[in-house]
Structure formats: structure tokens, C-alpha cells
Amino acid sequence: MTPGQREELIALLTLWTGWNRSAFENMTDRELLQEYERRIGK
């Protein structure tokens, strides 16, 4: 994942969950993608 893609994913997850951004910044790329897939129901 590129830095831009990572940034976009963190921004989306932060908006959707209302969680603190730092919670996502500490995740690996794989963890971010898993969280995203969970949110969109895949």
C-alpha cells in the first residue's frame, strides 16, 4: 500500500468509527485493510 492509500484508509476509518486517529496509525497495513473490510461487510 502506498503512503497515500494508507492515509486515505486511516481518514475513512477515523470518520466511520469516530475513533482516535492514533489507534489506526499504529496498525499495520494488513490490520487496516482487515478493519476496512469488516466495516464494509466483506
Write out pLDDT tens, residues 1-42. Answer: 999 999 999 999 999 999 999 999 999 999 999 999 998 886
pLDDT score for 15: 95
pLDDT score for 42: 63
pLDDT score for 6: 97
Name the DSSP letter for residue 14. H
What CA–CA distance (Å, rounded) separates 36 from 41?
Answer: 9
Buried b (16+ CB within 10 A) or exposed e, 19-35: eeeeebeebeeeebeeb
pTM: 0.82
What CA–CA distance (Å, rounded) separates 39 from 3?
Answer: 21
